[in-house]
Structure 1
Amino acid sequence: MLRIHFTSRDLQNIRISRRPQPLWELICATCRSATQQGPLEFGAWRRSVRERLAGNPAANQAVSALRTLVPPVGYIPDFLTPSVPEGGLPAALEEVRATPPDRLRRDLARLRVTTPLPPWTTELGRPGSRGMRLLTKVLEDSSRALLEPRWDHIRKAIGDDVDTRSRVLLDGGVRALLESLRPLAQWRPPVLEVDYPTDRDLRLEGRGLLLVPSYFCWGRPTALADPTLGPVLVYPVTARPLDVVPENDSRVDRLLGRTRASVLTEVARGRPRSTSEVASAVGIALPSASYQLTVLRDGGLVTSHREGQHVRHSATPIGHRLLDGDRARLH
């Protein structure tokens, strides 16, 4: 578990990255490409990546080189994931190039404890060496191979998540925003308890926290290992419906938005679902699920009725026809 300790000043300095962070996405995508995690979410993407790399030896070499620095589990060097608010990949690569040599050597020494490193990495941090030029070329080529074909989808997914979190913040304040991270994290003032592979504490000490929604982050949030760097919490965006289009946006996604399409797909499965069941299945906060269901109900796509203490929701015939039309188009 990761315990993030807030002060009152930190609560006034919580930010959400409104755009995809290109190197965070690249590093997470590199991990997903090397595992079988998320077969429904990433299976088609992995197959397309394999086909793309098989026909492009230079891209395949770049991705293979990057995988030597990015193990699917365990420590990943912090210098690979600078957060840049503007400028996209070029600005992020400039941040990597500007990494102080002592930090490069420290991060690589820590990685070398568990992961064998190729000879070219020894040149990183040496003034005037070709190691950093090679690394940034590897990052650029890998991004083109792993991310570019999916980038519009990534931006849309993150945009939907940011819109939802922003509404939660406006309606309920900072506390509601932090509580919206459930079940990935639990807000127990003044500590945010995050599902995390190792046990550690992060004390913000007035620096605030940057929340980074990520398309390729999977299962649980991640963070920088070095507590002296600017605090960042990267978390996975809302899970997609099972019937999602593998490489292109579905019609329902484009019409309703990713989160709302996921909610409609969930309530169309079998028996009527309670609001909390929908929130848990889709991976969003209870207030967000309630809001999305209200919008769908107002649009005639969902019907709701009370059963005892719970309100249960199901898709209307119009909602089913909308989803069935999309499935028919895909097949």
Structure 2
Amino acid sequence: MLRLHLGPADLCRVRFADRLHPVGTALLACQALHDAETALMAPGPAADAAAATGPVRSAASVLRHLLPARGRLPDFLTPLDGLESVAAGLEAIRAVPVGRVRAEVAAAYARLPGTPLRRRFAEADGEAMGLFGRALGTWHDAVLGPHWADLTDAHRHHVAGASAHLAAHGLDGLLNALHPAIRWEASTLTLTVRTWWSASLSGTGHGLLLLPSPLAGPQPRVLVEPDRPVLLVYPAPMPRRVAAGAPDPLGRLLGATRAAVLRRLGGPGRHTTTALGQAVGISVSSASEHAGALRAAGLVSSVREGGAVLHRLTPLGAGLLGGGDDRPTGGT
């Protein structure tokens, strides 16, 4: 469990990252795409990673050897600088002082067997760092490059939805709707996750930078560096698009995303707000907004059960889907 205590200076500077960081995203993805839950959030990159051959497969082997398979990555590998390109991100990594590289890599390797390449990487050896940079560039271009436009669209989609939630519910409502593992209360952001480290941290006074990403991994991550905003990266699935050219009268009536939510509620299962968001490929806050709009239209009913809100179709909603009252309503 992580507790992050934010002061007024931090809360006055809460904002979303302008865009995904090419190098930071790639490094998180190298870990995250081995997780089945994350692979479902980003099926395109997951498929390309699994199908890698030749130089891309060799690059993946280098990265798997140099990076921990799970858990905390050395902080210097996910810089805030270098947003422009992979090359700029790698340049930001190369600019990190050698002492910091050695300390953070040594900590990351604490439970890994030593190998010649790992020892050279931990010493910030120029040849080892060059090998790492080339492998990362090759892997990024082959696995993430073909999907970068969709990843960027997904980021913008989630930021737009979260911004609307902020406007409607304030900062308290926004922070409590980011992810089921994130809770905001009494100036403390608590991350209740199966984490590889536990701590109680204070903000830096430079704000909180929020970054939704389908490649964050199965749980939120936090980066705290002096004189920098605290970075909070949290899982956010890619939106699932309606097939190009396919006729969709319901989508034209309700909007593609809201129609997808309604259709999901027409299937079997226990439809919590979180489950709806994951199934449709939208944030939890966006799923809540869409469910609320459908409820206001009389198409959906919602009840609270413990800490979750369960949704199901009303007879009117089932009729709109074309199944009448006998259509499965996705009850509890």
Query: How would you bin the TM-score normalised by the shorter chain?
Result: 0.7 to 0.9
Amino acid of the structure 1 residue aligned with 2:214: Y
CA RMSD between the two structures: 3.9
2:175 partner amino acid:
L
Instruction: String of CA shifts for 1:167-219, please: whole Å, max 9, x gaps.
Output: 11222322222122241211111101112313211200412111111111232
Give per-residue Cα distances to partners, 1:87-130, cap 9 Å, x unaligned.
13232222112111111111111122112354345445879933
Using the alignment, how far apart are the partners of 1:125 and 1:207 within structure 2? 30
Contact in 1 for aligned 2:151/2:238 (Cα 8 Å): no
Residue deviations 1:207-261 (CA, integer Å, cap 9, x gap)? 21111111112321012376786421110014767xx79xx98968x98888646
Whole-angstrom distance in 2 between the partners of 1:236 and 1:250: 30
Candidates 174, 178, 181, aligned match of 1:177: 174
Deviation per CA, 1:16-44: give whole Å up to 9, x if none: 11322222321222113434444644567
Which residue number corresponds to residue 264 of structure 1? 262
| 1:203 equivalent in structure 2 | 202
**Aligned: 1:88 with 2:68:** no
Question: For 2:151, which of 142, 154, 168 is the aligned residue?
Answer: 154
Map of 2:104 onto structure 1: 107
Code of the residue aligned with 1:266 in structure 2: it is: R
Is 1:163 equivalent to 2:160 in the alignment?
yes
* Closer/same/farther in 2, CA of residues 240 and 219 from structure 1, 3 Å limit: farther
Residue aligning to 1:14: 14
- How far 1:47 sits from its partner (Å)? 4.1
Q: Tell me the equivalent position of 2:215.
A: 216
State the distance in 1 between where 2:170 and 2:135 align: 42
Counterpart Cα distance in 2 of 1:218 and 1:9: 29
Residues in 2 aligned to 1:122 and 1:228: alpha-carbon distance in whole angstroms: 30
- Written as runs of structure 1 = structure 2, the 5 A alignment for 1:248-327 is 260=258, 263-270=261-268, 277-282=272-277, 288-293=286-291, 303-304=299-300, 313=313, 315=317
The one-letter code matched in structure 1 to 2:31 is: C
Q: Which runs of 5+ in 1 are unaligned?
A: 322-331
Q: Judging changes above 3 Å, is the alpha-carbon distance between structure 1 residues 140 and 262 closer, same or farther for their aligned structure 2 residues?
A: farther
Deviates more, 1:229-238 or 1:192-201: 229-238
Question: Which is further off, 286-295 or 214-223?
Answer: 286-295
> What is residue 61 of structure 1 aligned with on the other side?
58
- Label 1:225 to 1:179 Cα distance change in 2 as closer, same or farther (>3 A): closer
For the residue of structure 2 that corresponds to 1:223, the secondary structure is strand
Aligned AA (2:27):
I
Q: Matched residues in 2 for 1:217 and 1:258: separation?
A: 25
Distance 1:144 1:304 in 2: 43
Mapped contact 1:20–1:158 kept (Cα < 8 A): yes
Secondary structure (helix, strand or coil) at the match of 1:130 reads helix
Q: Is the 8 A contact 2:10 2:203 kept in 1?
A: yes
Change in CA separation of 1:185 and 1:294 when aligned onto 2, cut-off 3 Å: closer
CA 193–101 in structure 1, closer or farther in 2 if over 3 Å, else same:
same
Pair 1:219–1:72, CA change in 2 (3 A):
same
Q: Counterparts of 2:144 and 2:88 in 1: how far apart (Å)?
A: 16
1:286-328 Cα distance to aligned partner (Å, 9 max, x none): 7643432466689x9x82468999985465666579xxxxxxx
Distance 1:36 1:176, change over 3 A: closer
Q: Which residue identity lines up with residue 289 of structure 1 in the other structure?
A: A
- Following the alignment from structure 2 to structure 1, what is the Cα–Cα distance between the partners of residues 164 and 79? 27
Q: Give TM-score scaled by structure 1 length.
A: 0.76
Secondary structure at the aligned position of 2:171 is classed as helix
Query: CA 1:260–1:100 in 2, change beyond 3 Å: closer, same or farther?
Result: farther
Q: Within 2, Cα distance between the matches of 1:311 and 1:60?
A: 43
Alignment length, in residue pairs? Answer: 308
Secondary structure in structure 2 of the residue aligned to 1:113: coil
Q: Do the aligned partners of 1:195 and 1:221 also contact (CA within 8 Å) in 2? A: no
Name the CA shift for 1:267/1:158 in 2 (closer, same or farther; >3 Å). same
In 2, Cα distance between equivalents of 1:160 and 1:107: 34
Distance 1:45 1:142, change over 3 A: closer
Cα-to-partner distance string for 1:250-294 (whole Å, 9 max, x where unaligned)? 968x98888646523432324896xxx335542677764343246
Equivalence for 2:329: none
